[in-house]
Structure 1
Amino acid sequence: MQSIIKIQNISKQYKGADFQSLNNVVLNIPQQSVFGLLGPNGAGKTTLISILCGIIQPTLGSYEINGISNKNSTSIKNIIGVVPQEYALYPTLTAYENLMYFGSLYNVSKTELKAKIPEFLIHLGLENFMHKKIQTFSGGMKRRVNLIAGILHNPKVLFLDEPTVGVDVQSRATIIDYLKLLNQQGTTIVYTSHLMAEAQDFCTDIAIIDQGSVFVQGTPKELIESVPNAHSLEEVFIELTGKKLRDVV
């Protein structure tokens, strides 16, 4: 399948650091895949996604998204959506007001937003809370509004950082089911998570990254079959990255 993201020898060393956060990363992410970027704390996942979203620049290397060079970051930002782990919402505004605001940042017209926002809220089970303030929402409800804020402009590629962290089982199922629908409709999804069972079920392709380098890339089935006696993605992950704790501050 054709690659929609091509990452070519990207390295990143932050100013003042005595090590590289990313070390010569090469990845090809297939079009319309659900691509899991998995790794322990401090492995380099967030740094790589921040580079692909144009938030920070690589020290070395380059990348393309949908044939657009990273030198043309404005054009790239028009075709990607970003859903951060931290809530990017204003607590004193309603869900509808938040989404109208974030849609305007992507230059989506008010007419289009007024038509689309109720549809998104219905899909994610929030239609009865449209005019409630975000500060009254549960964690799972905030996660779902956070997701909508990243897809109002119909991005070709959607970057998700831990989209189901800290939510209940029902919210997680609703989020994953809707992401699967978006993927079926043509959206490429790049996703980070520490939930190995979720990633095994959700992702079509996976790369495991640690210490700034890509260890392996393949389908969940291929990765499980590549490790003797492994029966799950979690067992593969532990085998490749070890059991040592990776606490970071």
Structure 2
Amino acid sequence: MILSRAQYGQISRYLERLRPNRQGLKLLMEQFPSQSQSTLLSIFSLEYQKRMKRTHARHHTTEACETYYQRYLSGVMNNAAAPVLFELANEMDLAPSLMARIVLEKFLQEREQIMPSKPVINGMLRDPSQIPDRVLANQVYQCTVNDSCYGPLVDCIKHAIGQEHEILLREKLQRKGLSFLVVEGHVIHWIESKASFGDEYSHQCYLQDQFWSYWNRFGPGLVIYWCGFIEELDCHRNRGIILKDCFPEDIVTLHCTMANTERGRDR
């Protein structure tokens, strides 16, 4: 689905009042029922990643981490079954999985008297049963399964969706037997698949890190944002980069062009 900058801005502004959890995602979809769910989910994730990056330093000071940890201890002491970490994350406007990571790191640091390694933390977030505290393990699990933007569950889903779209694209290309093709009058030598929405920030990063490099090596190409993109970003066609939100069906292949040429000669 292709959106204008104005439409994207409207969605982005509404997102500012929501929390990065499944309830927030549900409210977003109810507010914009005409937009596809995959588009809204991708925008939801992109915007919260930006918000978390902007506020990262504030949440990771020594004082903030200690405060979160003490509030967690106090909360589970009063009611170990309550979703203490999840509610704390919502109150602090922090993604639940990120709050779980902060508290888990603090817990292990105090227990082992050393800073836990990143692989150890990641392993426990992926499998909370490895956490040597049953209450904390349950709290971390609640955070990861209710987080729509961060955490091992989200990473797994994103990876699977990306793989699915790459397989879909490869199958379409193989069925058509394409070496290169012409889309809307533009010759295409490469196709990049992105199972996400193309917003201003991510698209500019991709241009700098990937797309212009492909263009320099292989020539003009096509980028498919399967969850849609901001319409105004499709502004480099004359320079050799086309944006689409699906696999183009109205294509002309080299084989077809050569066949038409041969028929013209026969006449």
Higher RCO structure, 1 or 2 (CA under 8 Å, sep 6+): 1
- With normalisation by structure 1, the TM-score equals 0.30
Normalized per residue, the structure richer in strand is: 1
Normalized per residue, the structure richer in helix is: 2
